[in-house]
Chain A
């Protein structure tokens, strides 16, 4: 048996033919891998289908080359879908990072208030995103909801405020829900990062009389970069493919206001049964996620090395 570390004195009874020893790790992993490959196979199928004309009414895949992709790119709604997909991902990830950082810094002070409040952060994070969206739907609803009356009390003109039901406010509304659900995740991640920082540099800075802002910019922030990158990896990848919140709120509407790639794939590929065409959207999304995640993971590796060298 090969272990990481020094080689132990091996009992002769345990000596096995070489190929078994070599194959053992693969054999142990095989069940898990097979289980997932059974699920991965459809993914390769999806790749192939996106180059065919395959619909539920014509269930014989016929190779048509790039026709689906050309149809998608020349569709006037494609640019809009692209903008909504990236707008949602950048908007929610950006706000969550800023707000999460602020909340983490405030919670790091270990006052009585912050201790009680840290536990409650679990609630939005753990309930299902669909249910989180429904909570907000309940509040945004004009007659049953509470948001408009509350804003009216603060003097905001709410007569035309219709949240996700209106194209102009639909995207900010769903981003707000994403922010509600996932800011706690970012905050807890950054809080764990803040608490794991070494003490000495901060004490040295205090002795030298450095201002808070200076310490934050030159010590805290650079040391937190690896953990911030992790937060971005999770939030950006997940919000690029967010489906639950948008589906629960509007199903992609009003009109095509919230038709992200995932919503397009669901609507065209599943509801309208034009499988091949719907799958072209998921393929574009997959390529985007693949490249962005690779870049981010590389950056994370580098930033970790840099932070360790400090």
Chain B
């Protein structure tokens, strides 16, 4: 009797979970479905239609006009490459300056350490427009507006605090005795750092770098205000499909699918470290 009751309860709980997951997955399913619809079927069909790759073709390769007088060449591939360049660039720059900083904040004892660490964290919570409205003027003066470097620099506001805080936790977990042993063997501190510490924090390093990549990729405001057409990213361009004369919902959906694939793949590969990264190391997960 008791086991029957608890099994029923477990089944009911699974049922509630499944309802929640329909809520989670259905919008994604609907986007994928829409991306395979023909433009003329957008308004007339729901679940049953003639699936076509037309939208994907149009946004990646382009389309020949029926009259044969010209071709529409899409910007989407260029925007996709921009997103790749900007996100990879931002993560590399963050790694270069952030890994040593995380190490210093974990290992050395010095005045003002905690307030420095919190200064880095506070960038994560700053309202974006307080920074980018004045920055848009400065960038125009310096010639950084609409350049890769300009966006990569401002992306440091997202990627650097994340890397420093997550990696600091990983460095703190390594026993100082390992370093001391290497030092007494006569290695200078930077060799100890490269040969012994970096290999030890590799999982954390990979996970936080990939997560930083995802956040840079997802960012919308910075390229919206500080980037022109040369450095436009997929997140900003996804909106443009709706602003033209005809709303191409199917092409927009295709663009969203393509723009989301890299992140889903990366997120799945760092699943184990995800919570630790997302909470800036506060939750070990």
Contact = CB atoms under 8 A, between A and B. Distances in A.
B247 to A, nearest CB: 8
Nearest to B190: A28
A236 to B, nearest CB: 10
B108 A24 contact: yes
A244 B220 CA distance: 7
Nearest to B221: A243
A286 B126 contact: yes
Given A131-B260, A243-B128, A1 B183 contact: yes
Interface in A93-123: 99, 102-103, 106-107, 109, 111, 113-114, 117, 119-123
B217 interface: yes
Interface in B32-89: 34, 42-43, 46
B21 A117 contact: yes
Nearest to A34: B97
Contacts of A33: 101, 116, 119-120
A279 B176 CA distance: 46
B23 A180 contact: yes
A278 B129 contact: yes
A308 interface: no
B137 A43 contact: no
A262 to B, nearest CB: 6
B214 A130 contact: no
Contacts of A261: 127
Contacts of A196: 284
A14 B266 CA distance: 42
A146 B138 CA distance: 45
Contacts of A124: 24, 27-28
A25 B27 contact: no
A155 to B, nearest CB: 18
Contact of A270 (B14, B25, B133, B184): B133
Contacts of A309: none
A38 B152 CA distance: 13
A149 interface: yes
A188 B17 contact: no
Contacts of B129: 243, 262, 265-266, 269-270, 278-279, 281-282
Q: Do most interface residues of chain A lie in helix, strand or loop, or is the interface mixed?
A: helix
Contact of A35 (B10, B128, B156, B247): B156
B127 A25 contact: no
Given A122-B271, A144-B34, A286-B127, A3 B239 contact: no
A234 B247 CA distance: 35
B148 interface: no
A180 B264 CA distance: 16
Contacts of A24: 104, 108
Contacts, number: 285
Interface in A30-75: 31-33, 35-36, 38-40, 42-43, 45-46, 49, 59
A8 B180 contact: yes
A25 B110 contact: yes
A132 B260 CA distance: 10
Contacts of B27: 124, 132, 135-136, 138-139, 180
B206 to A, nearest CB: 16
Contact of B133 (A117, A119, A282): A282
Given A8-B183, A14-B188, A136-B27, A230 B279 contact: yes
Given A3-B176, A3-B179, A46 B133 contact: yes
Contact of A134 (B105, B239, B264): B239
Interface of A: 1-6, 8-11, 13-14, 22, 24-26, 28-29, 31-33, 35-36, 38-40, 42-43, 45-46, 49, 59, 99, 102-103, 106-107, 109, 111, 113-114, 117, 119-132, 134-139, 141, 143-144, 146, 149, 180, 184-185, 188-189, 192-193, 196, 227, 230, 234, 237-238, 241, 243-244, 247-248, 261-262, 265-266, 269-270, 275, 278-279, 281-283, 285-286, 289, 293
Interface of B: 10, 13-14, 16-18, 20-21, 23-25, 27-28, 30-31, 34, 42-43, 46, 93, 96-98, 100-101, 103-105, 107-110, 113, 116, 119-120, 123, 125-138, 153-154, 156-157, 160, 164, 176-177, 179-180, 183-184, 186, 188-189, 214, 217-221, 225, 235-236, 238-239, 242, 247, 249, 252-253, 256, 259-260, 263-264, 266-268, 271, 274-275, 278-279, 282-285
Given A46-B130, A111-B14, 14 more contacts: A11-B184, A25-B113, A29-B100, A29-B104, A106-B20, A117-B17, A126-B266, A127-B264, A128-B219, A128-B220, A243-B221, A244-B220, A279-B129, A282-B130
